[in-house]
Amino acid sequence: MKNTIAALLRGGTAVLLALTLPAHAAERAIDKEVVVPAALDAAWTAWTTREGIITFFAPDAVIEPRVGGAFHIHINPLAEPGLKGADDMRFLAIQPKQMISFDWNAPPSLPEARAQRTFVIVRFAAVDDGNTKVTLHHTGWGTGGEWDKAYAYFDRAWGGVLGNLKKRFETGPTDWTEWLAQLKKMRDDAAAKK
């Protein structure tokens, strides 16, 4: 085979060879980016501390910025353990002030996909002293079942998260008071029906 390929290339038939090899589709991924009006240090801190996460991403979190450390994002901190949001997620890699990666799961409403994990990479690049570009790449998607629903959900959700990050630096941190009140009412209503 090796001699055949070499002969084909010497014979000027590289195009023929390319036409006979199977093509592979690119891995399905979600890619988003935003430039936030914040210095690199501030953008980095927003993603790598609990105090930062609660200013734009969710009302509660457990953040341990080290490889294998917790990256638990509690969209619904009033829910039972395992149903709070991105429960039990972990940092996979950290390059200070350049990149973080973490595993991720689907929302509780998609239990088949939630039982699996995908992977997110967030990169940080200073545009100038007061602006930072934040890019997000989410990959590791399965096919069939609930995967298409999970993909569509996060294609919308990550745009919202990055929009909230920008808003956090433009007008201030997110106030979760109303969100938490709605969650409490839903919990109390569900308990009253039992």
Q: Please give the Cα distance from 192 to 151 (Å, whole number).
A: 34
The angle subtended at Cα 159 by Cα 46 and Cα 77, nearest 5°, is: 55
Q: How confident is the model at residue 8 (pLDDT cuts 50, 70, 90)?
A: very low
The full set of domain ranges for the chain reads 25-193
Average pLDDT over residues 96-105: 98
Residue 72 burial (C-beta neighbours within 10 Å; 0-12, 13-18, 19+):
buried
* Count of CB atoms situated within 10 Å of the CB of 100: 21
Average pLDDT over residues 61-73: 98
Contact of 73 with 89, CB cutoff 8 Å: yes
Instruction: Determine the CATH number of domain 25-193.
Output: 3.30.530.20
User: Taking the model in full, what pTM does it have?
Assistant: 0.85
The angle subtended at Cα 164 by Cα 163 and Cα 167, nearest 5°, is: 90
pLDDT for residue 27: 87
Average pLDDT over residues 65-69: 98
Q: What is the pLDDT of residues 128-163, one digit of tens each?
A: 999 999 999 999 999 988 999 999 999 999 999 999
pLDDT for residue 109: 92
Alpha helix ranges (H) inside the chain: 2-10, 14-20, 40-48, 50-53, 111-114, 147-171, 177-193
pLDDT for residue 17: 43
